[in-house]
Amino acid sequence: MAQKPSIPKGTRDFGRLEMAWRNYIFDTVRSVFKTFGYSQIETPAMENLSTLMGKYGEEGDKLLFRILNSGDAFSGVDFDKPLASQVCEKGLRYDLTVPFARYVVQHRDEISFPFKRFQMQPVWRADRPQKGRYREFWQCDVDVIGSRSQLCELELVQIVDEVYRRLGIRVLVKINNRKVLSGLAEICGAPDKVVDITVAIDKLDKIGLDAVKAEMLEKGLTPEAVALLEPVLTLSGTNAEKISVMRSLMAGSEIGLKGLDELEELFGFIGQAGISTPCEIDLSLARGLNYYTGAIFEVKALDWEIGSISGGGRYDNLTGIFGLPDMSGVGISFGADRIYDVLTGLDKFPDSLAVSSTLLFANMGETAYVLPVATALRAAGIAVEIYPDSSKLKKQFDYADHKGIPFISICGETEAAEGLIQIKNLASGEQRSFAKDDVAGMLGFLAA
């Protein structure tokens, strides 16, 4: 009566090599975050539904995984009323942002602001699973909260620059500012049309200027407004030139000018910090419009076709929903799964990640003889295995091959009697013989 084992759709097991590759991404991201002084935190997988509900829109609420109350969840339930909310009080984390906001408010008295934190944990969404979209996936978020300085935005751009430099992925950083978008809508006399304007700008490459103008008219913008926006639609040149064109256009909008000041300061810092990754203003960027209030970021891989691999922005009121107003912050999220896909596609994972152990002592029944040698090599930081059974050598070699172990040592009675350790480089075929206590010699051979 054996069950056929499987896992829930949209979830994944990660084996040896996948873990080595994933950890390479996480370790790289983490070590960059740390050189900028960001501290890691973790929050529980389960949050109270009252914390999560209403934060991701109606659609988001539907995608929350709810956890049945423990004990007898259905006792005392009113079956004439909606059941889910009566039998579930907890849900799985849907993103890292809302739990972070909850964390900041709950721990405000222990935190020294500005609070620079990062968080790398799985999140769960009851989305329809499809290629590249999972029900359990990992987010790596880095945020600083409690400062309005554009140096915070700069730091995130520096982090992006350094992370992708280390990973060997060429990227483009697209930068926009929500206040500039508000300013554009304001000068058009249509402050409620921010999204329509952004969507239209975004289509420029695909459908051309005339079609975009037609679409804007259709959306209810006046011909005067569309004429006003034309210089923005055809914006080109350096970032400074773009800002200059918009500044003359936006003279009448206080919020628009504020946005341009922010962009100008940020690009000034980017120049001073000597960032080599290309950064450009892109007015069509409008991610998460509902909560971003300043800078908006998106990072594209230049050599691999995929959506954005990092993104974020500034929010002025993230913690307001939990009772802590006026706490401005800015953050960016690294999409581990997409970065994984890019590194796989570009074949950029270092070969060394495939190696699990450096040396396998084959089991010739003389394990007592090699035990102290294995211990000495491990003490020097070398990953060493002793094959546990005295199986056929073919099987032991296959094991080394399957695990990507580059060196094998075959020591039988003869070697034990002579006090020798034989080590063979499986790739080159070179074989060397060492005195049992010549650990330094072995280390040299294994490092070659």
- Burial (CB < 10 A; 0-12, 13-18, 19+), residue 321, is middle
Q: Does 89 bind its own copies (CB under 8 A)?
A: yes
Please identify, among the stretches 220-228, 239-247, 362-370, 421-429, the one whose residues bind its own copies according to the rule CB under 8 A. 362-370
Touching its own copies, residues 98-127 (CB under 8 A): 102-103, 105-107, 110, 112, 114, 116-117, 122, 124, 126
How many residues form the binding site for its own copies (CB under 8 A)? 108
Site string for its own copies, 37-76 (x = CB under 8 A): x-xxxxxxxxxx-xx----------xx-xxxx-xx-xx--
Q: Is 354 in the site for its own copies (CB under 8 A)?
A: no
| Beta carbon nearer to its own copies, 195 or 426 | 426
Contact 424, 411 (CB under 8 A): no
* Contact indicator for 235, 245 with CB cutoff of 8 Å: yes
**Phi, psi (5° rounding) for residue 118?**
-130, 160
Q: Could you give the 3-state DSSP secondary structure of residue 347?
A: coil
**Which residues share a beta bridge with 360?**
385, 408
Residue 87: both structure tokens together: 């039998």
CB neighbour class for 5 (10 Å; exposed up to 12, middle 13-18, buried from 19): exposed
Contact status: 392 vs its own copies (CB under 8 A): no
- Coil vs helix vs strand at 436: coil
252 Cβ neighbours under 8 A, 6+ residues apart: 186, 187
By CB under 8 A, the residues from 258 to 277 that bind its own copies are: 268-269, 272-274
What strands lie across the sheet with 407-409, from one edge to the other?
384-386, 359-361, 407-409, 420-425, 431-435
Residues 123-182 that bind its own copies (CB under 8 A): 124, 126, 135-136, 144, 147-149, 151-152, 155, 158, 162
Looking at the Cβ atoms of 213 and 424, the one nearer to its own copies is 424
Q: Name the residue nearer to its own copies (CB basis): 89 or 261.
A: 89
Q: Binders of its own copies among 1-40, rule CB under 8 A?
A: 2-8, 11-16, 19-20, 23, 34-37, 39-40
398 binds its own copies (CB under 8 A): yes
Residue 227 is a binding residue for its own copies (CB under 8 A): no
- Least separation in angstroms between CB 101 and its own copies: 8
